[in-house]
Amino acid sequence: MGRVIGGPESEAAIAFPLCTSVDPVVQAFDSSPQGPQRYTGEPNPGTALTGSCFDQHNPRVTEPTLTQQQLRTPVLRRSFRKPYPVAVRGEGVYVWDGDGKRYLDFSGSAAVNFIGHGVREIADAMAEQARQLEFVHTSQFTTPVAEEFAQELLDFAGEHFRGGAVYFTCGGSESVETALKLARQYQVEIGQKNRHQILSRQQSYHGATLGALAVSGNKKRREIYLPMVREFEHVGIPYCYRCAFCRTGDCTDSCYNCGQQYAAELERAIRAANGEAAGFIFEPMSGATLGAVTPPPGYLQAIAEICRRHGVLLIADEVMTGMGRTGRNFAVEHFAVEHGGIAPDILITAKGLSSGYAPLGAVIASKRVVDGIAACSGAFLHGFTYNAHPVSLAAGRAVLRRVRSLNLVRAADSEVTGTAGAALKIALESLRDLEAVGDVRGLGLLWGVEFVADKKTKAPFAPEKNFAGLVGQACLRRGLLVYPMQGCVDGVAGDHLLIAPPAVITAEQVGWAVEQIHGAVKEST
Residues that bind ligand PLP (CB under 6 A): 110, 171-173, 176, 205-208, 283, 287-288, 317, 319-320, 350
| Closest distance of CB 335 from ligand PLP, Å | 17
Closer by beta carbon to ligand PLP, 125 or else 446 = 446
AA letter at 108 = G
Q: With beta carbons less than 8 A apart as the criterion, state whether 148 and 155 touch.
A: no
Smallest gap from Cβ 181 to ligand PLP, in A, equals 15
For ligand PLP, the closer of residues 189 and 318 by Cβ is 318
- Which helix (H) or strand (E) covers residue 448, if one does? strand 446-451
- The distance of closest approach from Cβ of residue 173 to ligand PLP in the complex, given in angstroms and rounded to an integer, is 3
Parallel/antiparallel/unpaired status of strands 313-318 and 277-282: parallel
Say which residues have a Cβ less than 8 Å from residue 431's Cβ, sequence separation at least 6: 437, 440, 449, 514, 517, 518, 521
CB 67 within 8 Å of CB 82: no
Nearer to ligand PLP, 319 or 493 (CB): 319
Q: Could you say which DSSP state residue 114 is in?
A: S
Report d(CA 406, CA 413) in Å as an integer.
13
Q: Rounded to whole angstroms, how far apart are CA atoms 72 and 27?
A: 18
Question: Closer CB to ligand PLP, residue 207 or residue 494?
Answer: 207
Name which of 320 and 422 has its Cβ closer to ligand PLP: 320
Q: How far is the CB of 495 from ligand PLP (least distance, A)?
A: 18
User: In this complex, which beta carbon is closest to ligand PLP, that of residue 239 or of residue 461?
Assistant: 239
The smaller minimum CB distance to ligand PLP, of residues 157 and 453, is found at 157
Q: What is the DSSP letter of 195?
A: -
Cα separation of 384 and 366, whole Å?
A: 21
Count how many Cα atoms sit within 13 Å of the Cα of residue 499 in the half-sphere of its side chain.
31
Helix (H) or strand (E) holding 267: helix 256-272
Phi-psi region at 154: left, alpha or beta (left = phi > 0; alpha = psi -120 to 50): alpha
Q: Which is nearer to ligand PLP, 208 or 426 (CB)?
A: 208
DSSP structure string for 23-88:
-HHHHHH---TT------SS----GGGTTT--BTTB-SPPPPPHHHHHT--SS--S-SSSPPP-EE
Beta bridge partners of residue 439, listed in sequence order: 450
Q: How far is the CB of 333 from ligand PLP (least distance, A)?
A: 17
Report CA Rg, the chain: 23
State in angstroms the smallest separation of the CB of 299 from ligand PLP: 17
Query: Which residue is nearest to ligand PLP, using beta carbons?
Result: 172
Calpha distance 498→494 (Å, rounded): 13
Separation of CA 119 from chain center? 24
End-to-end CA distance of the chain: 30
Q: Which one, 7 or 383, has the nearer CB to ligand PLP?
A: 383
139, 226, 282 from 326: Cα distances, Å? 36, 32, 16
Least distance to ligand PLP, CB of residue 383, Å: 18
By beta-carbon proximity to ligand PLP, the closer residue of 353 and 422 is 353
Q: How far is the CB of 214 from ligand PLP (least distance, A)?
A: 13
Q: Which is nearer to ligand PLP, 212 or 436 (CB)?
A: 212
**DSSP strand E in 247-310: where?**
277-282
Smallest gap from residue 68 Cβ to ligand PLP (A): 26
CB of 321 to ligand PLP, least distance (A): 7
Question: Considering the complex, what minimum distance in angstroms separates the CB of residue 293 from ligand PLP?
Answer: 12
Identify the helix (H) or strand (E) that includes residue 157: helix 144-157
